[in-house]
Structure 1
Amino acid sequence: MLAELAAFSDSDANLTRLYLSPAHRAAADRVAEWMREAGLDVGFDALGTVRGRLKPTAAGRAGNRRLLIGSHIDTVVDAGRYDGMLGVVAGILAAEELRSRSIDLPFGIDLLAFGDEEGVRFPTTLVSSSAVAGCLVPSDLDARDADGVSLRDALQAFGGDPQAAASTAYARDEALAYLEVHIEQGPVLEAEGLPLGIVTSIAGQSRFSITVTGEAGHAGTVPMTLRRDALAASAEMMLAIEDVARAGGAHQMVATVGRLAAKPGAVNVIPADVTFTLDIRADADAPRLAAIAELDARFRAIAGRRGVSVAMEKFYESPTTPCAPRLQEAFAGAARDLGLADRRLASGAGHDGHAMHHLTDVGMLFVRCRGGISHNPAEHATIDDMGLAVEALIKAVERLAADAASSGDLT
């Protein structure tokens, strides 16, 4: 199934499937077919999310409560075939097994195949899951891609309905929880010889554009002691970033400088202006915010000592999304049932759960991936590990169903 999905690409050279593209539409149609074959009622919502519905099977407890299971089917450029897609396929297989095993469900199950998790085509992210969660920013529909096509127009070409965006949201009392299976996208589980891990939180992220301003000068005539070198100052700031992030290792803190530009950019001119980005993440908000405050102080100290100025401009902020303890325990119980370790870890990558947390509790299960490689054609998870993940998802749903049936409480 993953191999078949990987064939739907906007590029002949690699797997690149962008939100609302023809390849996205083809992949979504195939996912819809699989959902129908698994016995689900299927449709598309106004933002292009594929929704498959399995009705409650336990007598007298139907109501309108639904357990949501999903992930995304859009990709980065030159992607692997597991990121996002595994969660969608795992949900379909789990639903099929729940039906074939005649497991009583006091709630319905909705499978969701989202489309804008990667945020590659438009300067947006999580548009489709945000709509489902009721937290869509309306102005996102006016965002434009590199060719000038608006998200609104692309949605209409896809077959969606931007005017009905608000109708895609679940009512808060409809959603029981949101579960997602995903490759780890990191090396921890492989290093520890574990096939599965239970996610404790989705890391909060802060992103900054940092501008350092010094003074241009002749590379041969300005003494080193009299220079106001913006690039040298920036280099020292980058080392400070690395130092602070390493000190926050207990909170799975990571920090990255991904872009750097120096001006005027001549080989024989001292750099006068440097701009670089900072992406900093941790498993909780407090240590991340404390690290940012420390970096601000250290940047200013470096700038003062080197005779330059520095400005930090935040352009993205996403708070930590905690995974609900009851859902962690459901996955942990499933792992124990399978004879596996109860390994808890945070996710350093963002997921649709960031948006879904605005609607309901979030739970995530990680699957070991080879070398921790992701966003890369070399991305890989074994069939055995993926099979364990599907079975763990089934057992977690069974535990939630049993808890609801015994307590009479679906929350």
Structure 2
Amino acid sequence: MHEQDARLGHELLAWLDAAGEHSLPGPGVTRLFCSREHQAVLELIRGWMREAGLEPELDAAGTLVGSCPRAAAGEPTLILGSHQDTVVEGGKYDGMLGVALPLMALKALREQGIELPYGVQVVAFGDEEGTRFQSTLIGSRALAGTLDAQSLQATDAEGVSLAEALRDFGGNPDAIPALARDPERVLGFCEVHIEQGPVLEQRDHAVGVVTALTGIERHRVTLTGKAGHAGTTPMPGRRDALVGASAMVVEADRVLNATDDLVGVVGKLEVRPNAVNVIPAEVTFTLELRSPDPEVRKAGRDRLLSTFTGIAEQRGLALDLEQTYSAEAVDCADWMIEALEAASAACGQPAERLFSGAGHDGLAMHDLTDIGMLFVRCRDGLSHHPDEAITADDADAATRVIMAFLQGMRERV
């Protein structure tokens, strides 16, 4: 495809550029759940939904849901979509591509006069990254009927609870249980996402079909020692929480590098009192582990937490371990994989099968219905970074694949 032919791709990238403007100041895009930026971008998405022939409505969990007339009437419905929120200083495409692209596909079908014989909804989930409240998949767990009400008590850095933020945003925490969908009325959930890895670029393919989503767990580790004057307290016998945490971070890196099919990161670290001349009294850090194999992940976790306990004891530090999140790996449905492959082939796009090393809303939606995912090539495999990028050609190709997929769904209705 020549660049000038990629009309849908250029229009889609313009949509995504506009969405990227709704961000906190700074590099890249920072858009948090139930924030002013979230509220502003929903106005933009409402417009996209209406262009696609869908009626938008904000649900009790902060998800913007666009429904076609058949879906609104309760007919069996295919759900497509992704999340609007980002990591701090993220990119324009992680999440938002999966909201905008199916809307562009539906808009193009509508312009061609093609009506689908089943219900369609496109959802813009509010919270997948967990950046603000450290509690992820709120919107998708609500639809699946698996949201733990306790998670609504999570607080942000300012002490605002998730429940409070939802109420201020226009949601209704008390009404979330009623959002649970009837599995008999849901045909499946399909998400489009940038690959966040280098495989498609290495193979020179615009799209790929995902076979499974990785399992993820997160822990909050808190070490408590004793503050003291950095100049007058002797080195021997110090209970320096930061030194202990540093030893744990190094050990985590060593174990992760030595274990096949296990990746992880210490992504956040807080030091108190965080003063230049005071021995650190308390350190809290996060540990995230990911693996497609739950036994590998469990073994890595047990090894690391046991080592952390030993380091704390050796250095006279109190240790508190809290698991804050867990989601097991899930498989994409065979029929969805095959349908996306067939749609890719119909569009002249090679689409090899890939495993996703990232977590997505599909982890929650799998409890409700069959899931599928289409990957789109991203430059240098880069994600969670201001330099995230896709081409108009690839955006166009992926949009046309989803158009073909939607039309091919006629056979399952």
TM-score by length of 1: 0.80
Cα deviation code 1:186-229 (max 9, x no counterpart): 2232233222121222211122345789999x999999xx9999
Name the SS for the 1:173 alignment partner: helix
> Per-residue deviation at 1:39?
1.6
Q: Following the alignment from structure 2 to structure 1, what is the Cα–Cα distance between the partners of residues 202 and 77?
A: 36
CA contact (8 A) 1:47 1:165 kept: yes
User: Any conservation in 1 of the 2:27–2:386 contact (CA below 8 Å)?
Assistant: no
CA 1:154–1:63: 2 relative to 1, 3 Å: closer
Do 1:63 and 1:107's aligned partners in 2 also have CA atoms closer than 8 Å?
A: no
| Partner of residue 66 from structure 1, selected from 77, 83, 93 | 77
Give the superposition deviation at 1:393: 1.5
In 2, distance between residues paired with 1:235 and 1:352? 33
Q: Distance in 2 between matches of 1:227 and 1:362?
A: 53
1:280 maps to a residue whose letter is: L
Residue 87 of structure 1 pairs with residue 98 of structure 2: yes
Cross-structure match for 1:128: 139
State whether structure 2 residue 168 is matched by structure 1 residue 157.
Answer: yes
Distance 1:101 1:282 in 2: 43
Q: Distance in 1 between matches of 2:157 and 2:207?
A: 38
**Which of these residues, 14, 32, 37, is aligned with residue 23 of structure 1?**
37
Unaligned runs of 5+ in 2: 1-14
| Alignment correspondent of 2:368 | 359
The residue that corresponds to 2:18 in the other structure is 4
Q: CA deviation at 1:115?
A: 0.9
Q: CA deviation at 1:370?
A: 1.2
CA contact (8 A) 1:83 1:374 kept: yes
Residue by residue over 1:356-396, the C-alpha shift from the partner in whole angstroms, topping out at 9 and shown as x without a partner, is: 11211111111111122222221111111111111111222
Q: What is the CA-CA distance between 1:112 and the residue it aligns to? A: 0.6
Q: Deviations over 1:79-101 (max 9, x none)?
A: 31111111111010111233344
Partner of 1:407: none
1:49 paired with 2:63, answer yes
AA at the equivalent of 2:98: G
Aligned to 2:128: 117
Q: Please state whether the residue corresponding to 1:375 is helix, strand or coil.
A: coil
**Counterpart contact for 2:135–2:325, Cα < 8 Å:** no
Match of 1:256 among 241, 247, 265: 265
Whole-Å Cα distance in 2 between the matches of residues 106 and 199 of structure 1? 26
1:208 to 219, 225, 231: 219
* Residues 152-178 of structure 1: per-residue CA shift (max 9 Å, x gap): 333233223333222322112111110
Structure 2 counterpart of 1:387: 396
How many aligned residue pairs are there? 396
What are the residue-to-residue correspondences of 1:8-407 with 2, within 5 Å? 8-11=22-25, 15-55=29-69, 64-103=75-114, 105-209=116-220, 241-242=252-253, 244-246=255-257, 248-249=259-260, 251=261, 253-259=262-268, 277-295=286-304, 313-402=322-411, 404=412
Contact 1:202–1:346 (CA under 8 A) maintained in structure 2: yes
| Contact 1:55–1:107 (CA under 8 A) maintained in structure 2 | no
| Amino acid corresponding to residue 357 of structure 1 in structure 2 | H
Deviation at 1:16, TM superposition (A): 2.4
User: Structure 1 residues 278 and 367 mapped into 2: Cα distance closer, same or farther (>3 Å)?
Assistant: same
Aligned AA (1:98): L
Separation of aligned partners in 2, 1:274 and 1:151: 24
Q: Secondary structure at the match of 1:124?
A: coil
Quick one: distance in 2 between partners of 1:375 and 1:247?
25
Give the whole-Å Cα distance in 2 for the aligned partners of 1:186 and 1:26.
Answer: 30
Conserved? CA contact 1:144–1:150, under 8 Å:
yes
Structure 1 counterpart of 2:32, one-letter code? L
User: Cα distance, 1:235 vs. partner?
Assistant: 6.5
Percent identity, aligned pairs only, is 44
Could you tell which deviates more after superposition, 152-161 or 21-30? Answer: 152-161
Q: Partner of 1:29: helix, strand, or coil?
A: helix
| Higher alpha-carbon deviation: 317-326 or 11-20 | 11-20
TM-score, length of structure 2 as denominator length: 0.80
Measured after TM superposition, the shift of residue 127 of structure 1 is: 1.5
CA distance in 2 between partners of 1:109 and 1:260 (Å): 42
- Alpha carbons of structure 1 residues 183 and 262: separation in structure 2 relative to 1, 3 Å: same
C-alpha distance in structure 2 between counterparts of 1:280 and 1:56, whole Å: 41
Residue 378 to residue 232, structure 1, CA distance change in 2 (3 Å): same
The amino acid that maps onto 1:378 is D
Residues 393 and 305 of structure 1: is their aligned pair in 2 closer, same or farther, counting only changes over 3 Å? Answer: same
Native 8 Å contact 1:104 1:401 kept in 2: no
Q: 1:206 to 1:150 in 2, by over 3 A?
A: closer
Q: Is the 8 A contact 1:10 1:22 kept in 2?
A: no
Which segments of 5 or more consecutive residues in structure 1 lack a partner in the other structure? 405-409
Give the aligned residue type for 1:124: S
| Counterpart position of 2:3 | none
Structure 1 distance, partners of 2:40, 2:283, is 43
Residue 7 of structure 2: aligned partner: none
RMSD of the TM alignment (CA)?
3.7
Q: 1:302 to 1:13 in 2, by over 3 A?
A: closer
Q: Give the letter for the 1:291 counterpart.
A: G
